[in-house]
């Protein structure tokens, strides 16, 4: 993780761009703000609840409810992959490059009696009978290139969540790390057989979100992908060589999504009602890359209303 850099803090926003980040999820029926911690993270298990709220929402077309789900950065699978797979209505693609995390993921799938296969080892797309639970658990990373890259991997189990493709590494409190070579895939290529689209793309990739979406750009532009759920962490984006405004512009202007901030609103004595939206400039100012460790961050749910 890069140290505090005053110049980067002042300049991280980049050129001004039109757009806004909303909090108006209660306006969308039962898909409501599920809260979060003051750091911006959804509580454990809430990402799965958010998915089920999306699936049951009255404004989601019925034919989209059983579309596949993609999770990049599955970790041990407890918070998202296992609940979604048990639900059983969607094919699930999971990607986890870390060796220890992947072993935990597959062990948890076995413990839950969920059938799974690693297509990256078998080098084939596996069709399964309609209605059956199917999990494609790739022992691989996802980016805008195919091949292999170095993964900065935490060597202690409690820090498995922080593995990253960012070459500038992890926060200083994660003292034991190593560089390992991992397979890397593009979603444009992996999802080529999914011709009807994908219901949700969930990213937990420690600042590599821009690269993952660039590697899925062609697929997203030509297939329905109603929802993208991702962490927005400016310090990690900068560590990956990406200006935070680049990610917002890619989502909003190139891919056509409206993003919603899932962090709890701040209540101030001088402000009776928190704003329902922030311009990109105001949003980036609020989540400036400051503070220790990962710095300011939040969860964004981005929806493509053109396909809903």
DSSP string, 93-135: EEE---HHHHHHHHHHHHHTT--EE-HHHHTS-----TTS--E
Distance CA 4, CA 2 (A): 7
**Average pLDDT of every residue of the chain:** 81
Q: What is the mean pLDDT of residues 208-214?
A: 97
On whether the CB atoms of residues 218 and 151 are closer than 8 A, the answer is no
Q: Is the pLDDT of residue 162 over 50?
A: yes
What is the per-residue pLDDT for 134?
80
How many residues make up the chain in this entry? 308
Per-residue model confidence (pLDDT) at position 169: 65
Domain spanning 6-307: which CATH class is it, in words?
alpha beta
Contact between 161 and 297 under an 8 Å Cβ cutoff? The reply is: no
Higher pLDDT, 1 or 94: 94
pLDDT of residue 274: 62
DSSP 252-298: IIIS-PEEEE-SPPP-BTTBSS--SEEEHHHHHHHT-S-SSTT-S-E
Joined tokens for residue 295: 């710095």
Name the percent of the chain lying above pLDDT 90. Answer: 47
* pLDDT of 2 strictly over 50: no
Residue 245 — φ and ψ, nearest 5°? -65, -30
Considering only residues 31 and 300, tell me which one the structure prediction assigns the higher pLDDT.
300
Res 4: pLDDT: 42
Q: What is the pLDDT of residues 243-262, one digit of tens each?
A: 999 999 999 999 999 999 88
In the structure, what pLDDT confidence band is assigned to residue 263 with cuts at 50, 70 and 90? confident
Confidence of residue 146 (pLDDT cuts 50, 70, 90): very high
With tokens 């993003």, the residue in question is 259
pLDDT score of 29? 44
- Residue 219: what pLDDT? 98
Residue 287 has pLDDT above 70, yes or no: yes
Is pTM, for the whole model, over 0.75? yes
């Amino acid at each position: 993780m890069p140290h505090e850099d005053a110049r980067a803090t002042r300049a991280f926003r980049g050129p001004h761009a039109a757009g806004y980040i909303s909090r108006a999820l209660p306006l969308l029926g039962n898909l409501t703000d599920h809260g979060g911690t003051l750091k911006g993270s959804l509580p454990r298990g809430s990402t799965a609840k958010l998915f089920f709220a999306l699936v049951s929402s009255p404004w989601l077309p019925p034919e989209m409810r059983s579309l596949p789900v993609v999770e990049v950065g599955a970790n041990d699978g407890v918070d998202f992959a296992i609940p979604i797979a048990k639900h059983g209505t969607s094919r699930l693609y999971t990607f986890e490059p870390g060796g220890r995390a992947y072993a935990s993921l597959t062990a948890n799938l076995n413990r839950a009696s969920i059938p799974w296969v690693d297509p990256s080892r078998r080098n084939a797309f596996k069709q399964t009978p309609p209605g059956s639970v199917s999990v494609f658990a790739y022992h691989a990373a996802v980016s805008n290139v195919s091949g292999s890259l170095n993964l900065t991997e935490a060597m202690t189990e409690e820090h498995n969540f922080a593995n990253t493709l960012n070459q500038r590494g992890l926060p200083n409190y994660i003292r034991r790390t190593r560089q390992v070579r991992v397979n890397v895939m593009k979603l444009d290529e992996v999802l080529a057989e999914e011709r009807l689209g994908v219901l949700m793309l969930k990213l937990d990739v420690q600042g590599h979100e821009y690269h993952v979406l660039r590697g899925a750009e062609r697929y997203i532009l030509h297939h329905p992908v109603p929802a993208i759920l991702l962490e927005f962490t400016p310090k990690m984006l900068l560590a990956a060589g990406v200006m935070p405004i680049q990610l917002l512009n890619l989502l909003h202007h190139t891919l056509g999504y409206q993003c919603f901030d899932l962090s709890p609103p701040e209540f101030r004595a001088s402000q009776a009602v928190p704003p329902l939206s922030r311009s990109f400039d105001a949003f980036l100012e609020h989540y400036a890359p400051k503070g220790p460790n990962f710095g300011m961050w939040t969860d964004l749910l981005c929806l493509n209303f053109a396909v809903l």
